[in-house]
Structure 1
Amino acid sequence: MRLSSFAVGVSAVLLSSGPATAAPSAELPPIPVTVRVDSDRIVAPLPPIWRFFGADEPNYATAPDGVALMRELGQLRHDAVYFRAHNLLTTGDGTADFKWGSTNAYTEKNGKPVYDWRIVDGIIDSYRARGVRPYLEIGFMPEALSSAPKGVPYRRAWKPGNDYKGITAGWSYPPNDYAKWGELIYQWTRHNVARYGRAEVERWYFEVWNEANLDFYWSGNPEQFYRMHDVAIDAVRRALPTARVGGPDVAGSGDAFMDGFLAHVTTGKNYATGKIGTPTDFVSFHAKGQPSVVDGHVRMGIANQLKTADAGFAKIAAVPSLAHKPIVIGENDPEGCAACPGPANAYRNGPLYASYTAASYARLWTLARRRGVTLEGALSWSYTFVGQPWFAGYRQLASNGVDLAVFNVFRLFAKLGENQVAATSDGEVALDTIVRDGVRAAPDVGALATRDRAGKVAILLWNYHDDDVPGPSAAVHVALSGKHGATARLWRVDATHANAFGEWQKLGSPARPSAAQVAQLKTASRLVAETVTVTPGGMDVTIPRQGVVLVELQP
């Protein structure tokens, strides 16, 4: 790590770490809330949409901290977790940096292709060895295939604080030879089938590029993207006719680019085959929130994220041939740049990110059901930034090998059952209200309950507010009906539970924690179960502001 990068990271800490979370006010009495759960009444299946993750920097998957975190991801649900990464075809030596990575998979010698899969194999091997599968993003453009005009550099180095547009360079251009581009994808897919097996690769997702509707990532026009997409998808299917293919992983969901893409893959002439339409097994787009700073505190923008997701669902549902295809929100986050710190992004290290995640994912399940679409995944663009200062203010799941509070919410999601059962909360913000306005008045004290095949009932509870300011706890009475056990395990994520960042602040925010302090941080990061007795009337749970609780009732 260069000294300059370290200095940048320290600045990020100073700007973006923020408080562990808004503390409850001792002067405000708890808000009484009643949650009613009928564990015998199944509402609908609950697909595990939370099991998708991703990052700009693919090479971190082979670094020690990245490997350790990949192992933890795989343990959420072995062989059912997926990881998406940019830069899997980018030219370079495999050294990761902010918003950058490379594999050198394609170069040319005397105008002839040279394929080298060693680095990209190492990345995918790291996934598979730890129970994670690729959501395989085909991109970006190798230097030898880039159509960038003479004088445009292949890469422009970027660091936090720079203009986001500064990432755009030769890697973002269409291919200068579509036949060579198609052959690259064909050979890569053939190689993956030979290396990992047909049955394995059939379980992957294949999509082309990232956010081609933004000139940050795509220096061509829509038709050039459709052509590049068609050629790549055709190449994948020639190598593996049963491959799961889709796209377009655009930013947002409502612009003309998405309209054009949906029209092209359903009714347009395929650039590779000359037939009408392009094989599409799943449809993907991105949904982001919009945090801000108001009166010196972070205000989250959950409404923006939910509106975007709902608009995407509606757009896909309106195309008859795609209406019942699986949907993956290929990036699903509180805002748009994981490597960009700043005051508005100070939600990231502590429980505010955790409670936002619980409240937003719960609404995604409901919105998809209301639109009648099949939501298969909501991918959190969060991993880790190797070699950066502690709690540097980036959107990630762990800092220097210590898990952040938000990762523990994904662990709670992994404890949910396959079927959602009836649950209501009189403290929950109504769906239409939170989509329109967010959570700006009363807090959102919500509930989601499930039952698994073995009969275990799990109840997820949260006390969320967009404004990260002191607020009252929620005194939640859970009234239970239906079959359930007499004892419960209770897991907490809040300012004082499963929150390493709060512990780091208590230690004085050391820039270089000692070995003993690192051990203390790891202990503070862990979920710890409490045993709770369930009475005939149910049970009582207190949830602090920006807190999340999971209750497990054994059969």
Structure 2
Amino acid sequence: MAEVVSLRTSATAPGAPLNHFWSAVVGAGRANEGLRADWQAQLAEVRGACGFRYVRFHGLFHDDMFVYTEDDDGTPQYNFQYLDTLFDALLDRGVRPFVELGFSPRPLARETGTVFWWGAHGAPPTDLDRWSELVRRTVAHWVDRYGLAEVRRWYFEVWNEPNLRGFFRGTRGEYFALYRATARAVRSVDTELRVGGPATSNFVPDSRFDGETEDFTVHQATLGVDIDTLDWRPVWLDAFLDFCAGESLPVDFVSTHPYPTDWALDEHGQGEKLTRGVDATPTDLALLRRIVAAGPYPDAEIHLTEWNSSSSPRDHTHDTLPAATFVVRSVLHSLETVDSLAYWTFTDVFEEGGAGPEMFHGGFGMLTLQGIPKPTFHAYRMLHALGDTLLARTDGAVVTRDGATGAVTALAYHYPPEVTRSVPASFDDRAVAERTEATGEPRRFELVVEGLPPGAPVAVERLDGEHGNAVAAWRRLGSPRETTREQERLLDRLARATHVETHTADADGVLRLSTTLAPWSIVLVRQVG
């Protein structure tokens, strides 16, 4: 017999607060991409549909933003016009910046062109005094332009993944010195501005990886060990908190990147691609909460400023339904742990490895470059539909209530128990993704909600292999590498066409719903009247 996921509750039950931490922050590639009209249009769409409140991206001080240059005699020149255009566009669309302060502008970079197709200068600044003045002037400019009350609502994160060689060509000690200088520069503008770090990647086995450098031979030595038995910890975090406490530095939030499918890279850019257990993300988030609570900054917020099923912009799983179900499962298993879990990224307008070779190339985005929604877009849209009060939960489903309207919403998903790992990555081609999609058997979802108005209408929306699945529709068209405008319009329509049915509560105000969940499907149940 099919496995059954069952929930019973009342619309008038007291419930508990439900923080929508999953929609606090979303990621994007780099600042200059945010000057594009299509990027801005897609940001507006995910803001409206998925509720994202902040966006984070690299390259704030990269050469293509022209913020910092030097005259022939070495005199610094500051130009905020491109930043103004970008930040105006964010705020006009109801989204605030989660500011990542990095990388070095070319005149200050110890090494140049160290990472990405666009040549980010992932090296420490050669002059921390000039770096600090750049940070101070930039933040002060924002305060002048947008007002102190607005900028106090932003976050300022120091650098990105400084434990990875391409992103930071320096030691841990040099990053700590950079954090000290940057945090003090931010706070010199206003003492209530929020600053944090260390923005490291990733969770790795054992505290041995918390040293000044990463030793790949230690990675190799643990191969063959059951990775779920290892002690996975966030890189540098304990040492970072101790350093900041010793230097009396502000840490308003702690940030790191809990990708569940790979190790941190060594100084040669090598690493082992491993898929951790399906509960890796909720386990990591709960551990972070314990570490911060027991440390010198127990009141610091916790922001996971990058996260996805894998850290590769060429993982074909990202385009598929299992990626969406992985998002929903991970989020619902991580309630009450952190303040944000930022999906990386909202769009395939993303050029770290250059342009994607075709529409569905395994990019991070929940929207394709053409703006066609992938299943992950629907996952976040459905999560956003949940209320702010949790009424009931079980493994596979939750029921919530909206505090303003009283409307009840339920969300159910089917992550097949046969898949004991985080959704497997599919790097080289689509073979692994397609095998994963074919895994699993149907289950039943039984929902009973009492206390509704008699005859209350309820919409039941379904995302599955046949509905709202853009890449499946693309395959049915023959997987064209180059698409016509007509094909793109068709794919966009099919990608948005989730299946919706209408049910009603009975005369006693009881909703009884029994439905089949196909493997990897997600079902949203919403009271609509």
Which range, TM-score by smaller chain?
0.7 to 0.9
2:66 aligns with 104
| AA matched with 1:107 | T
2:11 to 32, 39, 59: 39
Cα deviations across residues 205-233 of structure 1 (Å, max 9, x unaligned)?
A: 11100111222322222222122112112
2:141 to 183, 191, 197: 191
| AA matched with 2:256 | F
1:147 aligns with 110
Within 2, Cα distance between the matches of 1:170 and 1:223? 21
1:392 aligns with 361
Alpha-carbon contact 2:202-2:235 (below 8 Å) kept: no
1:60 aligns with 33
Q: Judging changes above 3 Å, is the alpha-carbon distance between structure 1 residues 456 and 53 closer, same or farther for their aligned structure 2 residues?
A: same
Cα deviations across residues 58-79 of structure 1 (Å, max 9, x unaligned)?
A: 322222321221111221466x
Within 2, Cα distance between the matches of 1:324 and 1:158? 35
2:60 to 74, 84, 88: 88
Q: Secondary structure at the match of 1:512?
A: coil
Instruction: State the Cα RMSD in Å.
Output: 2.5
Within 1, Cα distance between the matches of 2:262 and 2:505? 39
Within 1, Cα distance between the matches of 2:486 and 2:511? 45
* Superposed displacement of residue 256, structure 1: 6.0
Alpha-carbon contact 1:106-1:114 (below 8 Å) kept: yes
* Superposed displacement of residue 361, structure 1: 0.5
2:243 aligns with 264
Alpha-carbon contact 1:137-1:208 (below 8 Å) kept: yes
Query: Does 1:449 find its partner at 2:400?
Result: yes
Alpha-carbon contact 2:200-2:235 (below 8 Å) kept: no
Q: Secondary structure at the match of 1:242?
A: coil
> Relative contact order, CA 8 A, sep 6+: which one is greater?
1
TM-score by length of 2: 0.81
* Superposed displacement of residue 499, structure 1: 1.6
Q: Judging changes above 3 Å, is the alpha-carbon distance between structure 1 residues 300 and 384 closer, same or farther for their aligned structure 2 residues?
A: farther
Cα deviations across residues 380-432 of structure 1 (Å, max 9, x unaligned)?
A: 011323353211111211112211110111111211111111233xxx3xxxx
2:159 aligns with 209
Q: Judging changes above 3 Å, is the alpha-carbon distance between structure 1 residues 448 and 238 closer, same or farther for their aligned structure 2 residues?
A: same
Q: Secondary structure at the match of 2:359?
A: coil
1:284 aligns with 255
2:477 aligns with 507
Within 2, Cα distance between the matches of 1:255 and 1:518? 41
* Superposed displacement of residue 50, structure 1: 1.7
2:46 aligns with 73
2:226 aligns with none
Q: Secondary structure at the match of 1:241?
A: coil
Q: Percent identity?
A: 27
1:124 aligns with 87
* Superposed displacement of residue 170, structure 1: 7.7
Cα deviations across residues 86-136 of structure 1 (Å, max 9, x unaligned)?
A: 111122xx3xxxxxxxx1211111111111222222222222222111000
1:359 to 322, 329, 335: 329
Alpha-carbon contact 2:319-2:374 (below 8 Å) kept: yes
* Superposed displacement of residue 362, structure 1: 0.5
Within 1, Cα distance between the matches of 2:127 and 2:293? 35
Alpha-carbon contact 1:488-1:552 (below 8 Å) kept: yes
Within 1, Cα distance between the matches of 2:85 and 2:97? 13
Query: Does 1:308 find its partner at 2:284?
Result: yes
* Superposed displacement of residue 299, structure 1: 7.5
1:546 to 494, 515, 520: 520
Within 2, Cα distance between the matches of 1:132 and 1:117? 19
| AA matched with 2:503 | V
Within 2, Cα distance between the matches of 1:121 and 1:358? 35
Within 1, Cα distance between the matches of 2:276 and 2:437? 8
Within 2, Cα distance between the matches of 1:365 and 1:391? 31
Q: Judging changes above 3 Å, is the alpha-carbon distance between structure 1 residues 471 and 233 closer, same or farther for their aligned structure 2 residues?
A: same
* Superposed displacement of residue 53, structure 1: 0.9
| AA matched with 2:22 | W
Within 2, Cα distance between the matches of 1:252 and 1:317? 20
Q: Judging changes above 3 Å, is the alpha-carbon distance between structure 1 residues 464 and 526 closer, same or farther for their aligned structure 2 residues?
A: same
Alpha-carbon contact 1:42-1:422 (below 8 Å) kept: no
Within 2, Cα distance between the matches of 1:136 and 1:316? 22
Alpha-carbon contact 1:447-1:459 (below 8 Å) kept: yes
2:100 to 137, 150, 157: 137
Matches within 5 A, 1:11-50: 30-50=2-22
Query: Does 1:336 find its partner at 2:311?
Result: yes
Q: Judging changes above 3 Å, is the alpha-carbon distance between structure 1 residues 303 and 522 closer, same or farther for their aligned structure 2 residues?
A: same
Alpha-carbon contact 2:62-2:104 (below 8 Å) kept: yes
Matches within 5 A, 1:382-421: 382-386=345-349, 388=356, 389-399=358-368, 400-421=370-391
TM-score by length of 1: 0.77
Within 1, Cα distance between the matches of 2:281 and 2:437? 18
Query: Does 1:245 find its partner at 2:195?
Result: yes
Alpha-carbon contact 1:246-1:281 (below 8 Å) kept: yes
Alpha-carbon contact 2:372-2:492 (below 8 Å) kept: yes
1:235 to 174, 185, 190: 185
1:16 aligns with none
| AA matched with 1:155 | G
Query: Does 1:323 find its partner at 2:314?
Result: no
2:224 aligns with none
Alpha-carbon contact 1:494-1:544 (below 8 Å) kept: yes
Q: Secondary structure at the match of 2:288?
A: helix
Q: Secondary structure at the match of 1:421?
A: strand
1:371 aligns with none
Q: Judging changes above 3 Å, is the alpha-carbon distance between structure 1 residues 204 and 306 closer, same or farther for their aligned structure 2 residues?
A: same
**508-517 vs 300-309, greater mean Cα deviation:** 300-309
* Superposed displacement of residue 460, structure 1: 0.9
Alpha-carbon contact 1:284-1:328 (below 8 Å) kept: yes
Alpha-carbon contact 2:413-2:517 (below 8 Å) kept: yes
Q: Judging changes above 3 Å, is the alpha-carbon distance between structure 1 residues 157 and 190 closer, same or farther for their aligned structure 2 residues?
A: closer
| AA matched with 1:63 | R
Q: How many residues align?
A: 458
Alpha-carbon contact 1:73-1:81 (below 8 Å) kept: no
Alpha-carbon contact 1:246-1:282 (below 8 Å) kept: yes
Alpha-carbon contact 1:104-1:119 (below 8 Å) kept: yes
1:433 aligns with none
Matches within 5 A, 1:447-526: 447-465=398-416, 466=419, 467-483=436-452, 486-526=456-496
Q: Secondary structure at the match of 1:335?
A: coil
Within 1, Cα distance between the matches of 2:476 and 2:505? 34
Q: Secondary structure at the match of 1:365?
A: coil
